[in-house]
Each structure stands twice: as structure tokens, then as C-alpha cells.
Amino acid sequence: MLALVAWTAGDAHAHQSSIKYVDVTVDGTHATVRFTVAPTDVTEPLQLPADSRPSLEAALAPAVASYVAGWLAIADCSAGPAHASPDADHRFVVVDWQVDCGADIGELELDFTRFFAVDVRHEAILTIHAPGEQGEPSIIRSGAPRLSVRAGEPPSKLAWIHYGIDHIYSGRDHISFVLALLLAIVLVRKPDWEVRSPRSALRSTATIITAFTVAHSLSLIAASLGWIQLPSRLVESLIAVSIIYTAIEDIIRPDVRWRFLLTFGFGLVHGLGFASVLRELLPADHIIAPLLCFNLGVELGQLTIVLVALPMFWLAARELGALRYRRVIMPVLAAIIAVLGAVWLIERVFTIRLLGM
């Protein structure tokens, strides 16, 4: 049980600078590859410490272009020299190069192995299209660094569901919040602390998780459709606050009557966090189906966490006794979650890195 909570101590920056944009324009026998990265992503070829913040001008060095071009290999194609230039807003580095495949390109064999060797937590948002056309983006993660793609081929509905599931598993702040909710559900005070019956625990869990699910689904849909827009830094900081508050509540007063309403309110914030990545991925001409599939994936991922954690907490409370669970186990686990939330809050408010894992 401690291992489950400690696992969330890893990187919780699923919505931040780990994302890189990759655009491939296919034109006959040639293709143009374009990586968009932040200056902080290319400290290695500049021979700077990993936590440095180089200027955009420094990040345009020739060494950066060749370094980024090495992240992607395309089978049976020869690559030309890479060039680095600023993007239109002069905030990011755009590295582009051409590849010659010798024959008309019907399918590309892409290998992102060296990209993920830099950091397995990276995500590549890949778009492949013909000149003048708009392709639909796909997420590439370390679990599947090699893939075959065709220009203009949209991700399947199953792929969008998988994105949602993967987003939950990589968002350890969201997992921490769900664990903080589940810690207190297995107990009830009447007037002494008792372990809930399995049926009662499931009923209470369904009520709380439903409030969280409905809330984050509403805000996810609203934000993805552009109806709500809040700064990502504010949203991520509020998510950390929700973790801290819920964990402290587990320690001080886990039987509060307003937890349902608080869970709903915090769920709205978490939905905005889910939308921060999805908004960049949704195709412009048909949003609804991918959006609903992604949300379904989020719910399925969340359900698997509940199915693992809830029985563990309930068994611990039954075997140790309600009073010992309330006075020892729950405060210890909640304190770990609260500390993690505090670390994430400091990182997000001050844009610094404290957890090196």
C-alpha cells in the first residue's frame, strides 16, 4: 500500500514541457520534418547544466539543429542537413530538415528511440500531411517508439481511448487526488470509527467518484471546445492545492459532510488539466468523437486505479482495525500525499524543479 502511494512521487508534469511537436510534410519522394522545441530542451548540445534556461538566440546554434535531428530516424530515407530557426512568436526553436526516400512515399517507418533515450517521459505530438493540407495529430510515447504511418491517416477511436487511459497513468497528480479521496471512504463514524461494509464502501466510492467524474468531464469538454480558457500554470497549481487540501482533510476531519461538493469543485479544476494536452490534439473539423473517446479513456484509467486501491485500503482497515487505521495508517499515507502536493505546488507556482525523479 505504501508502494502505491510512493509511486506517485515521480514526475507529475504530464501537462508541461515534456511535449514536443513533430510535423512531417510528405511531397512525392521527399518529406520535410519539423521539430518544435523549447530552448530549455536543448541544453545538452549547448554544454549547459540540465536546469539552465538558455536564450532563444543561443538555442539556434548549429549544434542544436543536428542534435534535434538525431531524435528521429526514418527507414529507407536519407536525411539532409538540419536548420534551426525561431518560431513566429520567437519563443520556440523550430528545427527542420528534408529526407529523400527515393520513391513516392506511401508509408513512413518512423523510429523515435533516440528521442525517448533523452527522457522516457517525453511525448511527441506527431502530424503527417501533404503540402497545404492539415493532418490529424497523434501522440507518440516511449512505450511504442517505432511506428508506420500514412499521410492524412487519422487516429482510430481506440487510439483516442488509449490516449485517455495513458494520460491518467502518466498524471500522478490526478492519481494522488483519487488516492486521497479513497483513503477516508473505507471508514464511517457512528459515533466510534468503524470499517464500512463492502457494499457501503462501494456505494460511498460510487458517490464521490461520480462527483469527480461528472465535474472533470464537464470542464474537459468545455475547455476542449474553447468555452473556458485559464492559464495552464494557474490550473496546475490549483490541482496541487486540491491534493493538499484533500490529504489534510483526511488527517484532520475525514468525515466532513461537504466532501461531495468539494470533490465536484476540484473535479472541475482537474478537467481543465486534462484539457491542456487534448486541446492541442483535437482535429478542427470533427472534435466530438475524439473528445468523448478520450474522456472514456480517462474514466477507464481512473476506474482501474479505484479497483486496485479501494480493496487495499479496505483490507488494511479491516485487518488493523478502524481505530489504528484512522490514527496511524491514514494520517501517514495522507501526509505523504500532502507533501507531494506541496512540492508540486511550489514547482508550478515558481516554475522550478524539486523532484528529480
pLDDT tens track for 129-138: 888 777 777 7
- pTM listed for this prediction: 0.74
Q: Could you tell me the pLDDT band of residue 3, with boundaries at 50, 70 and 90?
A: low
Together in a domain, 265 and 215: yes
CA distance 145 to 147: 7
Q: Could you tell me the pLDDT band of residue 18, with boundaries at 50, 70 and 90?
A: low
Residue 100 neighbours by CB under 8 Å, 6+ apart: 29, 30, 77, 78, 80
Residues 296-307: tens digit of each pLDDT: 999 999 999 999
In a domain, 286, yes or no: yes
Together in a domain, 107 and 172: no
Last residue of a domain, one of 127, 153, 179: 153
User: Cα-Cα-Cα-Cα dihedral of 310, 268, 260, 245, to 10°?
Assistant: 80
Helix, strand, coil % in the chain, rounded to nearest 5: 55, 15, 30
Last residue of a domain, one of 105, 124, 153: 153
In a domain, 331, yes or no: yes
Together in a domain, 301 and 205: yes
Residue 258 neighbours by CB under 8 Å, 6+ apart: none
In a domain, 138, yes or no: yes
C-alpha cell at 147: 511506428
Together in a domain, 127 and 248: no
CA distance 59 to 40: 8
Together in a domain, 121 and 169: no
Together in a domain, 251 and 190: yes
Together in a domain, 147 and 238: no
Together in a domain, 44 and 173: no
Residue-range definition of the domain harbouring residue 182: 159-350
Count of structural domains within the chain: 2
Residues 109-156: tens digit of each pLDDT: 999 999 999 888 788 888 888 887 777 777 888 888 999 887 666 666
Together in a domain, 109 and 63: yes
